[in-house]
Amino acid sequence: MIHNPEYECMEVQARRKLQLAALKNLAETLYSRVPFYRKRMDEAGIKPRDLHSINDIEKLPFTTKDDLRVNYPHGLRACPQDRIVEVHMSSGTTGKPVVNEYTIKDLDIWQQSMARTLSGAGCTRDDIVQNCYGYGLFTGGAGVHYGALTVGAEVLPMSSGNTERQLMILRDFGSTMLTCTPSYALYLAEEAAEAGIDLRALPISKGCFGAEAWSDNMRAEIEDRYNMKAYDIYGLTEIIGPGVAFECEAQKGMHVNEDFFYPEIIDPKTGKVLSAGEKGELVFTTLTREGTPLLRYRTRDITCIIEEPCACGRTTRRIHRLFGRTDDMLIIRGVNVFPSQIEQALIEIEGTEPQYLIIVSRGESHLDEVELQVEVKKDVFSDETRGLENLRSRIEQVMKSKLQISLKVKLVEPKSIERSVGKAKRVIDNRKI
Ligand code: DLL
């Protein structure tokens, strides 16, 4: 289902023209209203009038998360306060949270982006959307809510947590669509199994999952447990929240709502813009935002742009499912390791659950040591000790061959790793570096 064919299927050159006009307008606004951006543009020796083609975007300065923190709370606001109608913030595990301030027009952009996102997953006005993303300062709850209203679906604003009630509502209201983090979807499924609820027999038939990294294997597991189709959705607080990019039925990458959010991929070390297909750091410019628009915001997410036409008919460029983040890459004894690689390897090993915790420490020898705690399936755990020992050493071998590092595997009981109702925590790094 294509929510807005006029924009989503627009001829590419026509879209570039609109993007250039919006970029010029944005640069003018930021230059005249936001001292931070005026200074940055002056330092880079570029004026808004120097933008003649959309590729000139490369001449504009980047914005980083640190810039947002330094300008907390209102330093990047580009309109008068009385035009702001809503605010969201990231959880900000370290330092100050990042703030996004929305005008009415920004909310309209969000509603449209999320309506396209949910429609991409087949949502229509006939659907009942059980929205278990957190409501509050986090963008997940509100974003899906606005999108569902725009599509005309019925939305159940559950927020996260209270699993028992979630399952009751899922069953009693016959929800047809589930929206939450992929890890929470799996947790709900585990609890349903425990409570003797057969999810496969319920009307739930599709879901939009995002806000954290998840593998294709995790997707297969969710689809199997619910007998549903699971779609990947991407976004971040700084840009709008969810709704930046989404999968269509072809599921060959996520379509970027690029009339609103202009994507680039750069080499994270040099800042050089890379070509389609090349892996690097994803950067966004919020072409049409008013409250807190951003120029070339460095997301730290690693992916590549896919330019080939998509079978669905949309002409927007896509981004590949995320490969990881520049900042959650672990460097273990000099080797770069992403938690997503560990997860991918793990799900291929029979007998394990996709629940794991990576604990990194620095031992007496000053070498990095990694303990990988892995939950095993119930029937395997009650197996004889020798079976468990074999499984343990198999995981160690697989990790060694896939990651090129040795780590110690500890098998743990089903459900012993703490579940999260939002984003899952996969890494504890105890190294004092
Ligand atoms: O997580 C917004 C969101 C809500 C997206 C609901 C999707 C669904 P933040 O809390 O600011 O915003 O976190 C943004 O989460 O930079 C990525 O690293 C990660 N992330 C988001 N979606 C995905 C995804 C929301 N589909 C950060 N796959 C981003 C992998 C994702 N990582």
Residue closest via CA to ligand 1's atom 16 equals: 236
Q: Is 139 in the pocket of ligand 1 (CB under 6 A)?
A: yes
CA 150, CA 136: separation in Å to the nearest integer?
A: 20
Residue 122 has a pLDDT of 98
pLDDT value for 165: 97
CA of 388 to the centre of ligand 1 (A): 35
Query: What pLDDT, on the 0 to 100 scale, is given for residue 125?
Result: 98
CA 276 → CA 13, 263, 309, 387, 417, distances in Å?
17, 11, 13, 47, 39
**If you measure from the C-alpha of residue 25 to the centroid of ligand 1, how many angstroms do you get, rounded to a whole number?**
28
Residue 431: band (very low, low, confident or very high) from pLDDT cuts 50, 70, 90: confident
Q: How far is the CA of 181 from the centre of ligand 1 (A)?
A: 9
- Closest approach atom of ligand 1 to CA 213: 30
Cα gap 347→345, rounded to integer Å? 6
pLDDT of amino acid 140 = 97
Confidence category of residue 145, pLDDT binned at 50, 70, 90: very high
Task: Give the per-residue pLDDT at 432.
Answer: 67
- Does 119 sit in the ligand 1 pocket, CB within 6 Å? no
pLDDT at 380: 84
Give the residue among 3, 2, 52, 5 at the shortest CA–CA distance from 27.
52
35 has pLDDT over 60:
yes
Question: What is the Cα–Cα distance from 57 to 262, expressed in whole angstroms?
Answer: 10
Res 308 pLDDT > 60 = yes
Name every residue whose Cβ is closer than 8 Å to that of residue 150 and which is 6 or more positions away in sequence.
Answer: 111, 112, 114, 115
- 94 pLDDT tier (thresholds 50, 70, 90): low
- Model confidence band, residue 379 (pLDDT cutoffs 50, 70, 90): confident
**Residue 133 Cβ < 6 Å to ligand 1:** yes
- Ligand 1 atom nearest to 238, measured from its CA: 11
Give the 3-state secondary structure of residue 53.
coil
- Residue minimizing CA distance to atom 30 of ligand 1: 213
Region 236-257: what's the mean pLDDT? 98
Question: Higher pLDDT residue, 281 or 213?
Answer: 281
CB distance 266 to ligand 1 below 6 Å: no
365, pLDDT greater than 80: no
Q: How far apart are CA 72 and CA 58, in angstroms?
A: 26
Q: How far is the CA of 133 from the centre of ligand 1 (A)?
A: 11
Distance separating the N- and C-terminal Cα atoms of the chain:
50
In this prediction, residues 148-155 reach a mean pLDDT of 98
Q: How far apart are CA 382 and CA 362, in angstroms?
A: 33
235 lines ligand 1 (CB under 6 A): yes
Instruction: Please tell me if the CB atom of residue 118 comes closer than 6 angstroms to any atom of ligand 1.
Output: no
Distances (CA, A) of 338 to 33, 254, 329: 40, 21, 5
Q: What is the pLDDT of the chain when averaged over all its residues?
A: 94
Whose alpha carbon is nearest atom 12 of ligand 1?
A: 236
Q: What is the distance in A from the centroid of ligand 1 to the CA of 236?
A: 5
CA of 201 to the centre of ligand 1 (A): 30
CA torsion, ordered 398, 400, 406, 409, to nearest 10 deg? -10
Q: What number is the average pLDDT over the span 15-31?
A: 98
Measured from the Cα of 233, ligand 1's closest atom is: 26
Residue-wise pLDDT for 109-129, tens only, equals 999 999 999 999 999 999 999
- Which atom from ligand 1 is nearest to the alpha carbon of 241? 2
CA-CA distance, 429 to 330, in Å (whole number)? 9
The percent of residues above 70 in pLDDT, for the chain, comes to: 98
